[in-house]
Every structure is written in structure tokens, then in C-alpha cells.
Amino acid sequence: KHLCCRFVDQSGFENIVRSGSKLPSGIFYLSLVLFVNLVIKDQQKKMKVKVISRSTDEFTRERSQDLQRVFRNFDPKLRPQEKAVEYVRALNAAKLEKIFARPFIGAMDGHIDAISCMAKNPNFLKGIFSGSMDGDIRLWDIASR
């Protein structure tokens, strides 16, 4: 279990520290979780610190097939840009519907992996080359499809 805390020392300098680590000033050491004792050359001084504590057990997966846990708060007061984001999503969906509404000519099946490039020869108009991520290059005869 790691502890991260943010505190302001007497001079107003702000520090962010993990548990057990040395502070940038090189003098202080973090010792406890709920309240922090700062040790300055064998003298104990107490300081008020805001602490965020997170358990690694909540964020680690039991199996590699498990999904990563995502914490979200759907409160509309905390998400002022929600309407704008939904508008952009709806606009993109409408654009995709226009693209997919066009008539389908044909598919070039045969590549195992994703296609990374396509090229055509201006002297041979009915042929198109396509290259995939697995290193496969294919010549397609468009006129016969």
C-alpha cells in the first residue's frame, strides 16, 4: 500500500511525497499513514497534511483476462462538458452513417493482418497493390471484381 500526500511546509513550499520516500529538501521523512510525523534532525514536529491513500489491491487484476477497473462519476454537476461530448459523438455517428450508406462495391479479402498501404499504377489502371502489417503485398485485379 503506497501513500501519496501533498503538504505545504513553513516556508510555503509545496511537496508531493510517497510513503517511505525522502522529501526534496532532503531532511524530512514520512512515517505514518493517517497523520504524518515529520522528523527534523531527531526533533518531532507535527504538520497537517491532506492524504490520498489507494490500495494496490483495488487496481491490480486477479487474472490477465480480467478487465481493468475504471472509476467514473456520472454526476452531471461534475461533468460540465457532457452535452458537448455527446453532440460530437452524435455528429461523428451521423458522418459514419453517410459513409456506410453508399453502395458497397466489393471487398478485397485475403490479408491476414491490417492493411497499411495501397498504391496504383497509372499505366495499369485495373490493378491495385495493397500491403499489410504482416509483410504481405498483393496485386488486386479491380476490373474482374
Q: Which helix (H) or strand (E) holds 16?
A: strand 14-18
70 located within any domain: no
The pLDDT value given to residue 6: 52
The pLDDT value given to residue 85: 78
Alpha-carbon distance of 29 to 84, in angstroms, equals 46
Domain boundary among 40, 59, 78: 59
99 located within any domain: no
First to last CA, the chain: 61
Match 497499411 to its residue by C-alpha cell: 116
Give, as one character, the DSSP assignment of residue 112: S
Match 500500500 to its residue by C-alpha cell: 1
pLDDT 10s digits, 50-109: 666 666 777 777 888 888 777 666 776 776 677 777 888 888 888 888 877 777 667 778
83 located within any domain: no
Residues spanned by the domain of 17 = 2-59
The pLDDT value given to residue 52: 62
The pLDDT value given to residue 144: 80
Domain boundary among 20, 41, 59: 59
35 located within any domain: yes
136 located within any domain: yes
Paired sense of beta strands 2-8 and 115-121, if any:
unpaired
18 located within any domain: yes
77 located within any domain: no
67 located within any domain: no
Per-residue pLDDT band at 39 (split at 50, 70, 90): very low
Domain boundary among 23, 41, 59: 59
Average pLDDT, the chain: 68
What does the block give as the cell for 57? 489491491
Number of domains in the chain: 2
| 31: pLDDT strictly greater than 60 | no
Instruction: Residue 108: name the closest of 65, 79, 138, 133 by CA.
Output: 138
DSSP-assigned beta bridge partners for residue 118: 130
